Amino acid sequence: MTLALDVATVLEVHAFLAQEARLLDAERYPEWLELFTDDAHYWMPGVENRSRSDPMGSYGPQRMAYFDDDVSDLRKRIQRFMSATAWAEDPPTRHLHVVSNVEVEPGERTDELRVHSVVVNYRAQHDLDAATLYGRREDVLRRVAGELRIARRTVVLPHAALPAKNLNTFL
């Protein structure tokens, strides 16, 4: 194991997720993207309101998703955010990403960790426009050139209907 689950590693993961949240809060998207490996997959499936007994489950691959992105897809989204003509982003949204319930487990590869967390995203715009989204994340973090990087992220929302007009951030 090149990544032992010692206290230092767990603290490093906490610090990594907090730093990531701070970059998102500040809309520092190009820097945020640098936290991903080149082969990263970022997936936020759409959630359906189905019965417990339904073998389809409430979400799954090959179905509609808010994000089913590789790094080049993420880059396109970021390009829009950075564009001077993204009228809906001005005045800017004021974001808070709160990350909690962090659990660190060994990964499938020796240079990887599986990390569970819960994220709460509060967005405020104009005077009283606001939306709160919740998500449970499962990340695969990989050690690349000494640094932690996100190789895979799955975010599952509890919301079967997004309680907002858009999702102009990342969770």
Partner 1 sequence: MNAGLDNPAVDELVRLPGLDEGRIDRRIFWDADVYERELHRIFARCWNFVAHESQLPRPGSFRTAWLGEDQVIVVRRRDGSLGAYLNSCPHRGNRVCLAEAGQARGFVCNYHGWSFGLDGALRGMHEAGVYDREPGFDRGALGLTPVAQLDTYKGLVFATFDAEAPSLRDYLGAFTYYLDVVLDNDEGGTEFVGGRITSVLGCNWKIAAENFAGDALHAGWTHASGAEAMLGRPVPSLGRQPESYHVSVNGHAWEFNLDTVGNAATLDDPVVLDYLRGRHADVVARLGELRARMVGSISSVNVFPNFSFLPGQNTFRTWQPRGPHRTELHTWVLVNRNAPQRVKDAWRKGAMMTFSPAGVFEMDDGENWEGATRSNAGVVTRRQPLHYGLGMRSCVEHPELPGEVHRGQVNDANQRALYRRWSQLMQARSWTELVAKDAA
What pairs with residue 131 in β-bridges? 123
Main-chain dihedrals φ then ψ at residue 88, nearest 5 degrees: -70, -10
User: Residue 80, SS3?
Assistant: helix
Near partner 1 by CB under 8 A: residue from 54, 103, 105, 147 = 54
**Interface residue with partner 1, options 8, 51, 145, 146 (CB under 8 A):** 51
CA 92 to chain centre: 20
Give the span between the Cα atoms of 74 and 141, in whole angstroms.
18
* Least gap, CB of 18 to partner 1 (angstroms): 23
* Sole window of 11-19, 23-31, 54-62, 97-105 interacting with partner 1 (rule: CB under 8 A): 54-62
If one asks whether residue 46 binds partner 1 (CB under 8 A), the answer comes out as yes
Q: Are strands 36-45 and 65-69 parallel, antiparallel or unpaired?
A: antiparallel
Task: Judge contact between 95 and 25, C-beta under 8 A.
Answer: yes
Contact map string, positions 59 to 98, toward partner 1, x by CB under 8 A: xx-xxxxxxxx---x--xx-xx--xxxxxx----------
Residues that bind partner 1 (CB under 8 A): 44-46, 48-51, 54, 56, 59-60, 62-69, 73, 76-77, 79-80, 83-88, 160-168
